[in-house]
Amino acid sequence: MRIYIIEDDISVIGILEDIVEGSGLGTICGDTGDGPPDLPQILALAPDLILIDLLMPEKDGIQVVRELREMGSDAKFIMISQVSSKEMIAKAYTAGVSFFIQKPINLIEVRQVITTVKTQIENERALKTIQGVFAGRDTAVSPQPAAPSDYRLKRLKYILSQLGMAGEKGSKDIMDLCALLLQEGGSASQIPVSTLCTRLPGPPKTIEQRARRAVDRCLSHMASLGLEDYNNEVFLRYAARLFPFQEVRSEMAFQQGKGPRGKASLKKFLDGLVLLLEEE
């Protein structure tokens, strides 16, 4: 993964470079240690991830993110800041920032957030590859899609048990929805969940509600694991792949009495599960 650093403090650039390369998270393809960011040069380097300071002398980080987006950059952005203003954070998310890292720099937080974004990038690329394969098939031939293998269904049960969902009423609905997606070779991003639910036996709205409640409880469980141990194996493997990580952090803050609940996405959850099963 190629990483570019936009930061006016040379010492912070050095710390970030040491963390990234020392932890094997990627390669630093450039930084702004010599002056203000040269946006065309950054675009030409085509980084996968940009670490960017919020407060800089000439332009703030939010403005730089907006301009890079307008110029066609599809990089992920992680913003580095001492600012805790909710308005500023909201503006940053709207501009296209994926995560925040608070100053002073914390090695564990930087490593975890970059790992999370790296996983997102890998998942998105895998999903595009899968979609490209199915888009390129000959539409003149329409064979019946194969049912998912017993191994994948057993693997899915195992993952749900690791997520603490084995006893949830909605876990059976989630398994059925995943089986449909595997069978049809699609994703919940392509096929609305409400449409998938109409293909299962039973009232579609009830099926969707049960599944959503189960996923909400899973988000709560993941946040609890992360609070108990940020390096928990189940938390590290599944939290960022099945939920927007900012929502995991919101749920963790909620459980500490510091803000509103995080919001789970059933669509992202199903797509994440399917990708996990495709990897096996």
Point out the residues of the chain with pLDDT beneath 50: 138-146
pLDDT in the model for residue 131: 67
pLDDT in tens, 164-176: 887 778 888 998 8
Angle at 207 between CA 203 and CA 210, to 5 degrees: 140
159 φ, ψ (degrees, to nearest 5): -65, -45
Whole-angstrom distance, CA of residue 32 vs CA of residue 47:
14
Query: What residue ranges define each of the domains in the chain, with the CATH number in brackets?
Result: 2-123 (3.40.50.2300), 144-279 (no CATH)
pLDDT in tens, 47-58: 999 999 988 877
Whole-angstrom distance, CA of residue 80 vs CA of residue 16:
11
**DSSP per residue over 71-82, as a string?**
TT---EEEEEES
> Looking at the chain, how many residues does it have?
280
Contact 188, 196 (CB under 8 A): yes
Which residue's entry shows tokens 């390369």? 21
Mean pLDDT of the chain: 84
The tokens for 91 are 């503006």
pTM: 0.50
